Amino acid sequence: MLVAGSTLGPYKIIAPIGSGGMGEVYRARDTRLSRDVALKVIHAEVAREPERIKRFEQEARAAGALSHPNICAIYDLGTFEGSPFVVMELLEGESLRAKLEAGPVPVRKALDYIAQAARGLAVAHEKGIVHRDLKPENLFVTKDGRLKVLDFGLAKRDVAAGDGSETSSPTAARPTEPGAVLGTVGYMSPEQVRGQAADARSDLFSLGTVLYEMLSGQRAFARETSAETMTAILREEPPDLATTVEGLPPSLARIVGHCLEKRPEERFQSARDLAFDLSSLSDSQVRHERVAETTPKRRFRPHAITAALVLLGALLGLAGGRLSKGAGAPSTAKATTASFVQLTDQPGVEQDPSLSPDGKSVVYAAQPGGNLDVFLLRVGGRNPQNLTADSPADDHQPAFSPDGERIAFRS
């Protein structure tokens, strides 16, 4: 334990912040740049294991190469009396775990926090760094509302030796050995539970468990024992948010479910995709979906679409007949020229388009890979939203309800 006033090179210790399995964390002053930093000193007994220290230093340097507003910055790496230390950005605020202790997080806040985390993750993943221990303890909310991902890369070194001061969840003992279990029980992906290699999609599963907890106030796979929790991660689905959280937008429940797919290839394939989908749920969309789901409405029957289309065809035929009858008479109407604009460019099949009543959106069926899904696209937009990604069957022939608030389709 270092005392206030002691120095480690240019860093002057001010006060202890906390202690964990790997070492102690202090508030320190960088005398060169006149700024306060967080300084983590590794325990002496840990420092006696050369391989662990080598991995720690390699991964700390890799994490130090990351520069993003949603990642806690690493400034320096050094050694004190044979024990390595790392100098990090000093954050003012509280961990996400502290916020969760007060209950579920409001929907808009949850969307904002996880979108920020996903943007930070995207930068790390693009540099080949996978966190592998995402949990509320490693997500920090600053006083100005910015979310920071902590301990990037350090979780790879030895999860069991990570700073576990804020959680009692068991972690693995030797994460770098083949077949070892990596991560914190309750937030691990299925592949981590199996001891398999974890890639970027594993982080997205863990982030999905955090988002689930933020919205529901309950852990997605919490069981009485660690073994039961890991079994639940592998074999069970958490309670459906759409039915357990009153007024939750269905599109948000689908996003969480997409994160929590058991198979990595069925999840979001990148953190940027997740961040985009979360950000696209604007305040107005969330309010609109809540009203649409909670306000009683007259049931919209798919066969009514057919009747409406038949009636429309009859009216057009009648109008065409009238125009034909008057074809020989001189016309004073101004001729118009139709123009065509391509709306979609997805690979594979695209079919069954239907324009919304207000003319601002189009819904259609597409098969970019696998089965047909229903997609919604804003006219002029470039990012269609898959509305039926969780459906294992072919979904096609979508159509808007007359008020534009529902979409019917065949499956």
Kindly list the catalytic residues.
Answer: 133
Residue 363 has, within 13 A of its CA and on its CB side, a CA count of 22
CA 360 to chain centre: 27
Structure tokens at 64: 């130090």
Q: What is the DSSP letter of 305?
A: H
The neighbour count for residue 253, using CB atoms within 10 Å, is 19
Q: Which of 32, 31, 3 is nearest to 15 (CA)?
A: 3
- What gap in Å lies between CA 111 and CA 99, rounded to an integer? 15
Cβ atoms of 238 and 260 closer than 8 Å: yes
Backbone angles phi, psi at 376, to 5 degrees: -115, 130
Cβ atoms of 310 and 287 closer than 8 Å: no
- Sequence-separated (6 or more) residues with CB below 8 Å from residue 119: 68, 70, 271, 272, 275
Structure tokens at 203: 């982080």
- What gap in Å lies between CA 379 and CA 145, rounded to an integer? 33
- Sequence-separated (6 or more) residues with CB below 8 Å from residue 375: 344, 346, 363, 364, 365, 366, 384, 385, 386, 387
Cβ atoms of 89 and 38 closer than 8 Å: yes
Cβ atoms of 144 and 70 closer than 8 Å: no
What is the chain's alpha carbon radius of gyration, rounded to the nearest angstrom? Answer: 27
Q: What angle do CA 151, 157, 159 make, to 5 degrees?
A: 70
As beta bridge partners, residue 27 has: 15, 38
- Pairing between strand 139-142 and 93-95? antiparallel
Angle separating helix axes 107-126 and 271-280, nearest 10 degrees: 160
